[in-house]
Amino acid sequence: MFGKLKEKLLKTASKITEKIYNKGEAEEVKEEKKEKPKISLTNLFRRESKKEEIKKEKTEPEIKKTEIVKTEIPKKVEEDKEEVKEIKEETEKKKISFFDRFGLTRAIKKVLKKEVVILEEDIEDVLEELEIELLEADVALEVVEKLIENIKNELVGRKISPNDNVEEITINAVKNAIKNILSQEKIDIEEIIKKNKAEGKPTVIVFVGINGTGKTTTIAKLAYKLKQKGYSVVLAAGDTFRAGAIEQLEQHAKNVGVKVIKHKQGADSAAVIYDAIQHAKARGIDVVLADTAGRQATNTNLMEEIKKVVRVTKPDLVIFVGDALTGNDAVYQAEEFNNAVNIDGIILTKVDADAKGGAALSIGYAIGKPILYLGVGQRYSDLIEFDADWMVRKLFGEEEFEFSTEREF
């Protein structure tokens, strides 16, 4: 997950560190009793790039996205598992901290000979390189620009003295820059459900997006999660357009143990969702999760239909479901849906197969709406809550994530 992005960010921090060392005429100093850790910041990003090269070789030629999801994950998972195991063993063996892992305390460490004030020109070339690499990794242009600006704000004009830990300063600067991009105002779905429940109303959530992004499976995953938390859930088969969509939702509903309200294929989507809301009201059900047909923004009829759904059913939340593997396209789609029906939040799917991380980094900032959850696999439990701190920890290798190769659908 996000391997490429991780590699680029670590490389940038490492290069800036070297620039500062050079400017401050750093000298190597021996630290007593400390063994040199196997992983340094430099080695870590080298290893990330190596891993990505291998993955690239394995994944070529390009296969259709859903096929990538189905066929490539096991290999990735094995690699990632190996990586996690290695780091865990290493951490346990040496009882080393996060910063130790990046080589921030090492047997031979570099110490500045003189104080350094970081100037824009000192780091400009490194940031230009990062800019190009992020654009290649499908990070949206405005996000790339903001990130570079954030890193400059963190570092330019900063005085670094020989007593300072240069690597820690640069890592933290890049981290803060990323965190600032990822921090959108949060939505607490459970709070909304509790508030509505207290008022005797169900919470209505409508899911929108283009075809095949994982809407239906995401609805089932959220139903599973909410059920586990003790809420009652009913699904609305609002995708009355695609053949087989109602049956697909029914199968998921059966698997997770919730009821589906449906009409026939071709029926009015708004009417189905309206009925599901009435059903929930009559039976005191807490949450209505409404599927809708996948549609492109260019399909005016279907875009008018989704506007009608929102007008008629007045949902508490409209959630856009986007496929992380489509990178910038997911950002454009979210923009289109936001213009049409004003989305409240985003769920990104297939993040388990996403090395680039472009959509995950860009989509919230570009649309100004929060990412609520990430889909990370093909089990009902593979839906994790998104949180900026969590993502930063993943990106800087402080916390690893193990995917499952199991498939429940």
Ligand X SMILES: Nc1nc2c(ncn2[C@@H]2O[C@H](COP(=O)(O)OP(=O)(O)OP(=O)(O)O)[C@@H](O)[C@H]2O)c(=O)[nH]1
Residues of each annotated binding site for GTP:
209-216, 291-295, 349-352
Parallel, antiparallel or unpaired: strands 317-323 and 203-208: parallel
The token pair at 348 is 């990104």
Least distance CB 322 / ligand X (angstroms): 10
Query: Scanning residues 306 to 325, which ones bind ligand X (CB under 6 A)?
Result: none
Position 378 contacts ligand X (CB under 6 A):
yes
CA 312 to chain centre: 31
Q: Vertex 235, ends 232 and 240: CA angle to 5°?
A: 170
Of residues 151 and 348, the one with the C-beta less far from ligand X: 348
Tally Cβ neighbours within 10 Å of residue 276.
26
289 SS3 class: strand
Position 240 contacts ligand X (CB under 6 A):
no
Query: Scanning residues 171 to 200, which ones bind ligand X (CB under 6 A)?
Result: none
Contact range with ligand X by CB under 6 A, out of 12-20, 269-277, 337-345, 376-384: 376-384
Cα separation of 296 and 336, whole Å? 9
> Could you please report the per-residue DSSP string of 1-53?
--HHHHHHHHHHHHHHHHHHHHHTT-EEEE-TT-PPPS--HHHHHHHHHHHHH
The token pair at 193 is 């459900």
Least distance CB 386 / ligand X (angstroms): 13
Residue with tokens 């997770």: 256
Least distance CB 395 / ligand X (angstroms): 19
Least distance CB 65 / ligand X (angstroms): 8
Position 215 contacts ligand X (CB under 6 A):
yes
Position 269 contacts ligand X (CB under 6 A):
no
Cα separation of 400 and 271, whole Å? 44
Position 162 contacts ligand X (CB under 6 A):
no
Least distance CB 379 / ligand X (angstroms): 9
Least distance CB 47 / ligand X (angstroms): 24
Query: Scanning residues 65 to 94, which ones bind ligand X (CB under 6 A)?
Result: 66, 69, 73
Of residues 42 and 213, the one with the C-beta less far from ligand X: 213
Cα separation of 79 and 74, whole Å? 9
Of residues 286 and 323, the one with the C-beta less far from ligand X: 323
Dihedrals phi, psi of 118, to nearest 5 degrees: -75, 125
> Under a CB-based contact definition with an 8 Å cutoff, are residues 45 and 69 in contact?
no
Per 3-state DSSP, the chain is made up of helix, strand and coil in percentages (nearest 5) of 55, 10, 30
Position 211 contacts ligand X (CB under 6 A):
yes
Of residues 126 and 219, the one with the C-beta less far from ligand X: 219
Of residues 103 and 322, the one with the C-beta less far from ligand X: 322
Residue ranges for the known binding site are 209-216, 291-295, 349-352
Of residues 44 and 318, the one with the C-beta less far from ligand X: 318
- Size (the chain), residues: 409
Least distance CB 115 / ligand X (angstroms): 49
Dihedrals phi, psi of 319, to nearest 5 degrees: -110, 130
Least distance CB 365 / ligand X (angstroms): 22
What totals of helices (H) and strands (E) does the chain contain, helices first? Answer: 15, 12
Position 238 contacts ligand X (CB under 6 A):
no
388 SS3 class: helix
Query: Scanning residues 379 to 408, which ones bind ligand X (CB under 6 A)?
Result: 382
Position 409 contacts ligand X (CB under 6 A):
yes
Among 146, 158, 197, 242, binds ligand X (CB under 6 A): 242
Among 212, 308, 398, 399, binds ligand X (CB under 6 A): 212
In three-state form (DSSP H/G/I as H, E/B as E, the rest C), the secondary structure along 62-123 is CCCHHHHHHHHHHHHHHHHHHHHHHHHHHHHHHCCCHHHHCCCCCCEEEECCCCEECCHHHH
Query: Scanning residues 336 to 375, which ones bind ligand X (CB under 6 A)?
Result: 349-350, 352-353, 375
Tally Cβ neighbours within 10 Å of residue 319.
27
**Site residues for ligand X per CB under 6 A:** 66, 69, 73, 209, 211-217, 239, 242, 245, 294, 349-350, 352-353, 375-378, 382, 409
